[in-house]
Amino acid sequence: MEPGCGEGGGGGGGGRDERVPQWGAQETRELIAARGEMERESAAAAAARRSAKTLWEAVSARLRERGYRRTAEQCKCKWKNLVNRYKGKETSDPENGRQCPFFDELHAVFTERARIMQQQLLESESGPSVKKKLKRPSGDLSSEDSDDEEDGGGDSGDEKPIRSRKRKTADKRQQSQQMAEKSRTSISSIHELLQDFLVQQQRMDIQWHEMMERRSQERLVFEQEWRQSMQKLEQERLMLEHTWMEREEQRRMREEARAEKRDALLTTLLNKVLQEDL
């Protein structure tokens, strides 16, 4: 991270300015939206290139229209921080890329940029007339983090030697070829990332199905063991109940025997008493 590009967005060359308020979530989304709008407008316009300073001043102006007061340098620094976090999450671990804050908004901007670059590449390869009008693709706006400004106009009205014009035309053609090659490389890298993501997703799906099947088997084994335990407990309960009933029957029989003996003794005593009275 460059000096002066903290989350607060201070624009000075020294340390972070504590007086600059933090970026809120909605304010950050508005910054990303304004940057995406500039991407589309830069791609749609066939005029001269937009310098980095002019670009961020336009983004700052759009934020002011939406009620947020941020300087061009603050917008630029915040965008650098967002891009660094997005690229770090996206390229190192695509599966966990969505842990990056504002990933969906940034991903939409870069996806639209790749689409525009591919469209410009196809247009540049369609014919010589389109090649003459080929300008710098808007997908390279992320390289505008430096403050270098290019002057696309200048001395177009001055008369120059034919050799100088040919050299300038060759330089432009070479630059266009380099930019087209760069756009192809960027699109190829995006396709590779998507392919890696799909492979990771398929691997995770397989692991998930294996885990669910393993858990299902474990559940079946547990249920079988539980049923066996319940059956064993039921058998033990029946045995205890049978033993208890036998003991109760034996106790009842003893009680009846004692009652009969007692009745017989009482009858004998009564008879003996009656005989003595007589």
pLDDT in tens, 202-252: 999 999 999 999 999 999 999 999 999 999 999 999 999 999 999 999 999
Q: Is 156 helix (H, G, I), strand (E, B) or coil?
A: coil
What pTM does this model have? 0.42
Q: How far apart are CA 141 and CA 55, in angstroms?
A: 9
The answer to whether 172 touches 180, Cβ cutoff 8 Å, is no
Residue 192 pLDDT? 86
Domain boundaries, the chain: 25-90+100-123
Q: Is 138 helix (H, G, I), strand (E, B) or coil?
A: helix
Q: Which of 108, 111, 26 is nearest to 70 (CA)?
A: 26
The answer to whether 15 touches 3, Cβ cutoff 8 Å, is yes
Residue 12 pLDDT? 43
Residue 131 pLDDT? 45
The answer to whether 221 touches 177, Cβ cutoff 8 Å, is no
Angle between helices 103-124 and 25-44 (to 10 degrees): 0
Helices (H), 125-161: 128-132
Q: How far apart are CA 76 and CA 54, in angstroms?
A: 11
Amino acid at 148: D
Q: How far apart are CA 142 and CA 7, in angstroms?
A: 18
Residue 258 pLDDT? 93
Q: How far apart are CA 230 and CA 6, in angstroms?
A: 66
Per-residue pLDDT tens digits of the chain, which is 278 residues long: 444 565 554 444 444 445 667 899 999 999 999 898 887 777 655 444 567 778 899 999 999 999 999 999 999 999 999 998 888 766 555 555 456 778 888 888 888 888 888 887 787 766 544 444 444 444 444 444 444 333 333 443 444 456 666 677 777 777 877 788 777 888 888 888 888 899 999 999 999 999 999 999 999 999 999 999 999 999 999 999 999 999 999 999 999 999 999 999 999 999 988 888 76
- Taking the CB of residue 189, how many other CB atoms lie within 10 A of it? 12
- In tens, the pLDDT along 182-214 reads 778 888 888 888 888 999 999 999 999 999 999
DSSP labels, 79-120? HHHHHHHHHHHHHH-GGGGGGSTTHHHHHHHHHHHHHHHHHH
Helices (H), the chain: 25-44, 52-65, 72-92, 103-124, 128-132, 162-277
* Residue 23 DSSP label: P
